[in-house]
Chains A and B, each alone.
Chain A
């Protein structure tokens, strides 16, 4: 296989595809050089995406002990609840802004690996909660630890206000345990189904009692709500608390296997190769759950570039849209179009279907989503009309008047984009007209299938080289082949 195909493979999987400006270097560098560069570009800690300020924080500056926090809270009760309401009021809008900010990072950031890894964790630690501030903090946690130690990520997420709230650990108290948090931590975040008993869930729930967040939205351990008695969890007995439970889960090799398998399915192939996953999982466990090392094992391997792994994965909606926007740098006339596309294609950031995340693979595809996928590039590039309605979200609208009107305003003409074609035109400058058909196809399509040339010619714009180039790129993006990477 050519360097270029391998490089594109790497860029699609470890990031969101090649940018127009990469066209020339794709031929020159080896995949190993590309991979080293990708790693390097993601070393830096990410900047926080901020859409809402913590208006309560000033009350608790440099205050950490629960008693003082409670005292301040009591003394400023009215003022604090006003600020909290203010923060929450615009949550729907805040989540929209957060979506735009993060999407922008995925398109333009050099830290492609970090953002892609974060998208994976965003689906793994799925949290559907209409609270702009909590979500802003959670995604920052995820992006910060995305390439670090899985244990740190697991603990930070488990102690986030967002997850504690979403999985009802606020209601998990000594006298009235709520098992939701404990159950999902095991079923979805660490071991996977079938590797624990209902008794383990009950015991873990007891250990997590008292895990909550304070008025400042920081993690808080409430001792008086905690069940400090003896518990037996996965064969260990003791006065276990929440941290002990997470440690025991991390000590269990099944967790490494479960996470590795999920990563393999997301980054390599929906179809599991058991021996490769076993190998990777062992090393992941030995490394102390070093995520960057695991990704290094995957992307440095030769089998990653095997034919069966190339061009056989269905891009998720966010990957698809981001990939188009990377190859064709653009400014959307109406930013809401991005939300509309995510919505109709079934992947709106910060709105996973449930705590299990987006199922992915062929689940992305039905007659409607495929039609929209095939139309979006033309809508963006040629201002083609597309008349579709996004699904309303009652959890966001909360029955407010005007919600339906807003929904109607949101549909219809999705709006076009101003594409800056220069980098693309520049990138193909040296390609002769005779080679152009093949060159464009091999830049855009990872699938081994090729579209019949005479069909493409029939729909080509032959009025000039630039017109041809633009039209051909868009036509190729409007194919089933382009849905794969």
Chain B
């Protein structure tokens, strides 16, 4: 308790004393320590459209090999999970997780009237909208709105990036993006910002709003940095972007920060040309980072509290193209990794390659059903309120 008190004072002395700050600090003061058991979601976005069929490979399907004479991955070279399917050869650790019952695979996830523009389809996934609907908020941002209405907890959702993704922008609440908590607001002008923030007197609604965001950002930066230094993980992580991001996330999970959602991206998976090398490189990075992360969480007894979810804006076409790559497709697979999965392994059938829509997979599960499941069953949120309608729930968590 003594340590907590000292930490609080430290934040207090650095933060501003403007109108907004006491409320903000009060939120920290009265905040019960996040109990171990608090559920955390880690979203890993595969940017660029990952090729799902070379990720979860149907190794006994002739249509797959016929359509991919060069790119098709032979069953003997892949990480075989069962007689009829395997993982990409680089995903060795995911195979181990599968064996331990910590990996769930969902196939054919997509949405009606799929869009093949990267940006638009990512917009649809991040906002959780229908194909013809334009939302300026994201599904996790609206989760923040629902969870945090009336309270100031700007560190509930964090993105490890310089720019905040639409996914984490709500109407009133927004996540915070940073690559390195230490650098969030640093620079030669940091003290100046703190000084003007501190001296601001409420004047008019919009300017007060900007000062509120500024004050929250300044104090969140301190808070996040301090939290990340309480129990910095001792585990060794690869020196890749994903490795460093998961290391930061692990250190925060092991602290008592109130964050329930972490978000990071990996890419580009846009493999029109010479796909094999590119996907291999990215999966190598992913596999090694996830290995460190899950081992770390297990060692610290937190693996049951963390759910990793991967997605991409679309999959690729079934047949390879003329440049040993694949072009934009539709439905895709998703991974779920956690110590607390209710259903493990293959959660639904592999994509039906005999029943294609002009060369593309037909989606069998709407991604918004996956969101609804994660929101309700994992984050304990009102999925209907966040998504605007009721989508069928799945049962893997």
- Which positions in A face B, CB cutoff 8 Å? 128, 180, 183, 311-314, 343-344, 346, 351, 353-356, 359, 362-363, 365-371, 374-375, 378, 384-395, 397-401, 403-404, 447-449, 451-452, 454-455, 458-459, 475, 478-481, 483-484
Q: A367-B220, A370-B210, A400-B273 are in contact. Are A183 and B132 (CB under 8 A)?
A: yes
Which residues does chain A contribute within 8 Å of B270, judged by CB atoms? 394, 397-399
Q: A394-B48, A399-B268 are in contact. Are A448 and B123 (CB under 8 A)?
A: no
Candidate in A343, A367, A389 with the most chain B CB atoms within 10 angstroms:
A367
> CA separation between A271 and B92, bound complex, in Å?
55
| CB-CB contacts below 8 Å: B136-164 with A | 136, 154, 161-164
Given contacts A374-B189, A391-B163, A394-B267, 20 further A-B contacts (CB under 8 A): A180-B132, A311-B204, A351-B119, A353-B123, A356-B134, A365-B213, A367-B164, A386-B187, A394-B49, A394-B119, A398-B270, A399-B270, A399-B325, A448-B203, A451-B199, A451-B200, A459-B195, A480-B200, A480-B207, A484-B207
B348 at the A/B interface (Cβ < 8 Å)? no
Q: A367-B154, A368-B162 are in contact. Are A394 and B207 (CB under 8 A)?
A: no
Q: A389-B162, A481-B207 are in contact. Are A378 and B189 (CB under 8 A)?
A: yes
| CB-CB contacts below 8 Å: B12-57 with A | 47-49
- Which positions in B face A, CB cutoff 8 Å? 47-49, 117-120, 123, 132, 134, 136, 154, 161-164, 166, 169, 174-178, 183-185, 187-189, 192-193, 195-196, 199-201, 203-207, 209-211, 213-214, 216-217, 220, 267-268, 270-274, 278, 325
> CA separation between A447 and B175, bound complex, in Å?
27
Which residues does chain B contribute within 8 Å of A403, judged by CB atoms? 268
Which residues does chain B contribute within 8 Å of A481, judged by CB atoms? 207
Q: A354-B134, A375-B189 are in contact. Are A447 and B203 (CB under 8 A)?
A: yes
> CA separation between A483 and B273, bound complex, in Å?
43
Check if A449 sits within 8 Å of B220, measured CB to CB.
no
Check if A397 sits within 8 Å of B268, measured CB to CB.
yes
Check if A384 sits within 8 Å of B213, measured CB to CB.
no
Which residues does chain B contribute within 8 Å of A128, judged by CB atoms? 117, 119-120
> CA separation between A391 and B166, bound complex, in Å?
12
> CA separation between A374 and B325, bound complex, in Å?
43
Q: Which chain B residue shows the least CB distance to A314?
A: B206
Q: Which of A366, A378, A451 is close to B174, meaning CB atoms less than 8 Å apart? A: A366
Q: A370-B214, A387-B183, A403-B268 are in contact. Are A344 and B48 (CB under 8 A)?
A: no
A342 to chain B, nearest CB (A): 12
A179 to chain B, nearest CB (A): 9
Q: Which of B154, B177, B211 is close to A480, meaning CB atoms less than 8 Å apart? A: B211
Check if B163 sits within 8 Å of A368, measured CB to CB.
yes
A335 to chain B, nearest CB (A): 21
> CA separation between A138 and B136, bound complex, in Å?
25
> CA separation between A387 and B216, bound complex, in Å?
21
B325 to chain A, nearest CB (A): 7
Q: A375-B187, A384-B187, A394-B270 are in contact. Are A449 and B204 (CB under 8 A)?
A: yes
Check if A479 sits within 8 Å of B118, measured CB to CB.
no
> CA separation between A343 and B49, bound complex, in Å?
21
Q: Which chain B residue shows the least CB distance to A478?
A: B189
Check if B204 sits within 8 Å of A448, measured CB to CB.
yes
Check if A312 sits within 8 Å of B206, measured CB to CB.
yes
> CA separation between A448 and B202, bound complex, in Å?
11
> CA separation between A180 and B217, bound complex, in Å?
40
CB pairs A–B below 8 angstroms (26 shown): A312-B204, A351-B119, A359-B136, A366-B175, A367-B164, A367-B177, A368-B163, A368-B176, A369-B164, A378-B187, A378-B188, A389-B161, A389-B163, A394-B48, A394-B119, A399-B271, A399-B278, A448-B204, A449-B204, A451-B196, A455-B192, A459-B192, A475-B192, A479-B196, A480-B210, A484-B207
Q: Which chain A residue shows the least CB distance to B154?
A: A367
Check if B119 sits within 8 Å of A353, measured CB to CB.
yes
